[in-house]
Structure 1
Amino acid sequence: MKSAVETLNPTRVRLTVEVPFEELKDSLDAAYKKINQQVTVPGFRKGKIPARVIDQRFGRGAVLEEAVNDALPKFYQSAVEEAELNVLGQPEVDITDLKDDELLSFTAEVDVRPEIEIPDYSGIEVEVDATEVSEEDVDQAVEQLRERFASTNVVERAAAEGDVVKVDLEAKVDGEVLEDGVAQGVDYTIGSGELLDGIDDAVTGLEAGGSATFTSELKGGSAAGQEAEVTVTVETVSARELPELDDEFAQLASEFDTLEEMREDSRKRLAEQKKYDQATQAQEKVLDALLEVTEVPVPEKLLQDEVETRKHNLVNHQLGQLGLDLGSYLKMQDKSEEDFEAELKEQAEKGIRTQFVLDELVSTEKLNVSQEELTEHLIRRAQSSGMAPDQFAQTVMQEGQVPMLVGEVARGKALATVVEAVTVKDTNGEVLDMSDEEDEAEEATEAVEEATEAAAGTTGTDAKNESSEKSEG
């Protein structure tokens, strides 16, 4: 077999392959055997029909077509390996010549991972939020805890902001009550903004048994995005009573004996959260800065596929579960379809560029993933998916997604390596030592996932593993 590579652009090549006919022998034998099992010829036992009879009865062309279909993926894969190409996606194959007993030649155009030169990134400098915890921060955290332990008591008066009302709702569109537009006994805290726009004004001032009608855009259901006439009837009005801020409350709401001890614990928790948020912010900003200084060509076909995957996942998974279609979603977001497509393309392109750059760093920095690191990442992914680690691991194994998880961890380590090498300052001007961050690589992995994941599942350049497997089969 002879093969040659022509570079069409930085992300696409054309392979030209010539195969001597004798190298098709195994595929020809397999083609005759397959046809033998599928056809019947009088005078011959099934599976024992001579090749010359198959040629006479069914045509040599049918045999050649079967043989070529069997052989092409193998010859294509051999040519890819010989040229040491890092292909992405499926090739576009064109048979240019097929001469019986002489020659098979074909071309295959396919996207390839571009060669990327990572510039010196040590000069990158980013600024992140400082991590001081103020008294106001602690007050807010304690107040949120206090809200959780609030009690409610039914009162005989008009509803006011902060009250909890139990209401019945009925929504009409064009004068007709919607099948899914009736709800009864719904608890709602006035001012929380958790239900329909306009309901706060409608129920404020109503006593038990009172009703009001208002117009609002429905957020979900069969008429999501449409204007509806909503009638709300108040069943009960309850006032919320907050517990006193004292040691007794601390003992009720925490494992501490005094309010001061509980406040100090809140301060520590807030400091830890701010430290985590600071590290995440640093990773995101460093990644953006690295992408800005690195030239990364993006294969057009890969980009189109990624955009379609993200759109499919959003429409069929996320929006579908909410009972929304794309039109309703865009109306709620106040976006045009053109704006949506442009935003989706920008996100997809960033995801692909991120994978290319970090994979190149994994290679140049010779980063490896240990079994312990992979296990820790698997446990975290299991927790985020709501599955038990053993069950998640079994699913990952069955679906052949271990290489994908390894890639995620490796890219996280690559980003962590860059973060350690650049200058990170907080808003007070203090230079931070990011190498001291615990679980830094795992946190960086989360930042990478945020940039590279599609709406419901990682796509993009991980498809290169699939294309390799498919071309072999």
Structure 2
Amino acid sequence: MKSAVETLNPTRVRLTVEVPFEELKASLDAAYKKINQQVTVKGFRRGKIPARVIDQRFGRGAVLEEAVNDALPKFYTEAVNEGELNVLGQPDVDITELKDGELLAFTAEVDIRPTLEIPDYSGIEVEVDAVEVSDEDIDKSVEQLRERFASTSPVERAAQDGDVVTIDLEAKVDGKVLEDGVAHGVSYTIGSGELLEGIDDAVKGLEAGGSASFTSELKGGSAEGEEAEVTVKVSEVKARELPALDDDFAQLASEFDTLEELRADSAKRLAQMKKYDQATQAQEKVLDALLELVEVPIPEKLLADEVETRKHNLVNHQLGQMGLDLAKYLEIQGKTEEEFDAETKAQAEKGIKTQFILDELVNKEKLNVSQEELTEHLMRRAQSSGMSPDQFAQAVVEGGQVPMLVGEVARGKALAVVVEAATVKDTNGEAVDLDEEDETVEAVAEEGVATAEGADETPAEEKPEA
């Protein structure tokens, strides 16, 4: 076999391949055997029909077509390997010559990964938020904990903000009660914003037994999006009582004996959260700076496929689970379809660029992924998807997506290398030393890479392999 490579552009090549006919022998034998099992000729047992009879009855052309279809993937792969090409997607193959007993010639056009030059990235400088925990932050954290331990008790007065009311609801559209527009015994905290718009004003001031009507747009059900006349009746009013902020509360709500110890622990946890947020911010800004440094040509078909995949996953899975279609989603977001398409394309471009650049860095820095690192990444992805590690691992294996997860870990490590080499300062002008947080930086980087590339939380979706 002879092959030659012609570069059409930085991301596409044409392979020209010539195969001596004798190299088709194995595929010809396989073609005769396959046809033998599929046809019946009087006087011959199935599978025992001579080749000459098959040629006479069904034509040599049918055999050649079967043989060529069988052989093309093998010869194409050999040509790719010989040319040391890193191909993307499926090739467009054109058989240019087929002479029985002499020669098979074909061309194959295919997208390839572009050759990238990674410049010195140690000069990247970014600014991130300082890690500062204020008394106000601590107060808010303790107050949220206090809210969780609130109790309620019935009161004989008009409902007011913060009260918990038990209500019955009835929704009418065009004067008719909806089949799914009636609910009884609903518990609602006034001011929470968890039900219909306008319900807070309607129930405030009502005592048990009181009712009111208001107009609101329905958020779900058979008449979703339509204006409805809603009647609400209050059957019970309960006041929420918060525990006193003292040592007794600390002992009730935590393992600490004093409120001071509880506040100190809250400060510690808030600082850890802010450090994680700081690492995330550094990773995002460093990645954006790295993308600006490298010129990355993108194959048009790969980009189109990635845009279509992202749109498909959003519409058919994420929005589907929420009971929304694209039109309703765009209305909620306040975007036109053109703006949505432009944003999706920009996100897809960033994802592909991220993958290309970090893969190049993986090779340049000779980064490997250990079984322990892969397992830790799988655990994190499983947690974010809401699946158990065993379920997630099974879905990954069945979907053939283990290489995808390995790639995410490797690219996360590559990005962590860049982050650690960059100069990161906080808004106070202080240097941020992320080397002390190696595991955190790598974990954050892996998440950032998955987000930039558009990886799904569950491994069931397919995306173009870049």
Superposition TM-score, scaled by structure 2 size: 0.94
The CA deviation string for residues 290-312 of structure 1, in whole angstroms up to 9 with x for no partner, is: 11121111111111111111111
Mapped to 2, the partners of 1:176 and 1:71 lie a distance apart of 68
2:83 is the counterpart of 1:51: no
Confirm or deny: 8 A CA contact 2:305 2:464 kept in the other structure. Answer: no
Aligned twin of 2:95? 95
330-339 or 453-462: bigger deviation: 453-462
Change (3 A) 1:185 1:377: same
Q: Which runs of 5+ in 1 are unaligned?
A: 465-473
Name the amino acid aligned to 1:219: K
Confirm or deny: 8 A CA contact 1:221 1:323 kept in the other structure. Answer: no
2:115 is the counterpart of 1:81: no
Confirm or deny: 8 A CA contact 1:313 1:456 kept in the other structure. Answer: no
Aligned twin of 2:17? 17
Confirm or deny: 8 A CA contact 2:392 2:458 kept in the other structure. Answer: no
Name the amino acid aligned to 1:360: E
Confirm or deny: 8 A CA contact 1:5 1:14 kept in the other structure. Answer: yes
Q: How far apart are residue 95 of structure 1 and its match?
A: 1.8
Confirm or deny: 8 A CA contact 1:21 1:100 kept in the other structure. Answer: yes
Name the amino acid aligned to 2:435: S
Name the amino acid aligned to 1:403: P
Change (3 A) 1:53 1:331: same
SS in structure 2 of the partner of residue 195 of structure 1: coil
SS in structure 1 of the partner of residue 443 of structure 2: helix
2:208 is the counterpart of 1:205: no
User: What pairs with 1:215-294 in structure 2 (closer than 5 Å)?
Assistant: 215-294=215-294
Aligned twin of 2:116? 116
Aligned twin of 2:311? 311
Mapped to 1, the partners of 2:76 and 2:84 lie a distance apart of 12
User: What pairs with 1:423-434 in structure 2 (closer than 5 Å)?
Assistant: 423-434=423-434
User: What pairs with 1:355-370 in structure 2 (closer than 5 Å)?
Assistant: 355-370=355-370
SS in structure 2 of the partner of residue 191 of structure 1: coil
Aligned twin of 2:465? 463
Q: How far apart are residue 270 of structure 1 and its match?
A: 0.6
Mapped to 1, the partners of 2:193 and 2:222 lie a distance apart of 21
User: What pairs with 1:21-420 in structure 2 (closer than 5 Å)?
Assistant: 21-420=21-420
Q: How far apart are residue 173 of structure 1 and its match?
A: 4.1
Provide the identity percentage.
79
Confirm or deny: 8 A CA contact 1:164 1:189 kept in the other structure. Answer: yes
Mapped to 2, the partners of 1:13 and 1:461 lie a distance apart of 23
Change (3 A) 1:330 1:26: same
Name the amino acid aligned to 2:170: E
Confirm or deny: 8 A CA contact 1:94 1:108 kept in the other structure. Answer: yes
Aligned twin of 2:449? 448
Confirm or deny: 8 A CA contact 1:122 1:422 kept in the other structure. Answer: yes
Mapped to 1, the partners of 2:116 and 2:286 lie a distance apart of 18
SS in structure 2 of the partner of residue 165 of structure 1: strand
Mapped to 1, the partners of 2:228 and 2:102 lie a distance apart of 74
Aligned twin of 1:470? none
Mapped to 2, the partners of 1:188 and 1:247 lie a distance apart of 31
Q: How far apart are residue 429 of structure 1 and its match?
A: 0.6
Confirm or deny: 8 A CA contact 1:313 1:454 kept in the other structure. Answer: no
Q: Calculate the aligned-residue CA RMSD, in Å.
A: 1.9
Mapped to 2, the partners of 1:362 and 1:370 lie a distance apart of 14
Q: How far apart are residue 144 of structure 1 and its match?
A: 0.5
Confirm or deny: 8 A CA contact 1:355 1:461 kept in the other structure. Answer: no
What is the number of residues matched between the two proteins?
464
Change (3 A) 1:384 1:457: closer
Change (3 A) 1:462 1:316: closer
Confirm or deny: 8 A CA contact 2:3 2:79 kept in the other structure. Answer: yes
Name the amino acid aligned to 1:354: T
Mapped to 2, the partners of 1:292 and 1:210 lie a distance apart of 63
Confirm or deny: 8 A CA contact 1:221 1:324 kept in the other structure. Answer: no
Change (3 A) 1:226 1:342: farther
Change (3 A) 1:223 1:10: farther
SS in structure 2 of the partner of residue 79 of structure 1: helix
Q: How far apart are residue 85 of structure 1 and its match?
A: 0.8
Mapped to 2, the partners of 1:461 and 1:366 lie a distance apart of 26
Q: How far apart are residue 175 of structure 1 and its match?
A: 4.5
Change (3 A) 1:452 1:173: farther
Mapped to 1, the partners of 2:7 and 2:144 lie a distance apart of 61
SS in structure 2 of the partner of residue 437 of structure 1: helix
Confirm or deny: 8 A CA contact 2:16 2:108 kept in the other structure. Answer: yes
Mapped to 2, the partners of 1:118 and 1:9 lie a distance apart of 20
SS in structure 2 of the partner of residue 44 of structure 1: coil
Change (3 A) 1:5 1:120: same
Mapped to 1, the partners of 2:443 and 2:137 lie a distance apart of 27
Superposition TM-score, scaled by structure 1 size: 0.93
The CA deviation string for residues 327-356 of structure 1, in whole angstroms up to 9 with x for no partner, is: 111112221111111111111111111111
Q: How far apart are residue 446 of structure 1 and its match?
A: 1.1
Q: How far apart are residue 176 of structure 1 and its match?
A: 4.5
Confirm or deny: 8 A CA contact 2:309 2:463 kept in the other structure. Answer: no
Aligned twin of 1:469? none
Mapped to 1, the partners of 2:98 and 2:206 lie a distance apart of 84
Change (3 A) 1:71 1:145: same
The CA deviation string for residues 361-414 of structure 1, in whole angstroms up to 9 with x for no partner, is: 111111111222122212222322333334433443333322111111111111
SS in structure 1 of the partner of residue 465 of structure 2: helix
Q: How far apart are residue 457 of structure 1 and its match?
A: 5.3
374-383 or 117-126: bigger deviation: 374-383
Name the amino acid aligned to 1:334: G
Q: How far apart are residue 33 of structure 1 and its match?
A: 0.3
Confirm or deny: 8 A CA contact 1:224 1:324 kept in the other structure. Answer: no
SS in structure 2 of the partner of residue 463 of structure 1: coil
Change (3 A) 1:381 1:316: same
Mapped to 2, the partners of 1:145 and 1:292 lie a distance apart of 43
Confirm or deny: 8 A CA contact 2:306 2:464 kept in the other structure. Answer: no
2:4 is the counterpart of 1:7: no
Confirm or deny: 8 A CA contact 1:404 1:462 kept in the other structure. Answer: no
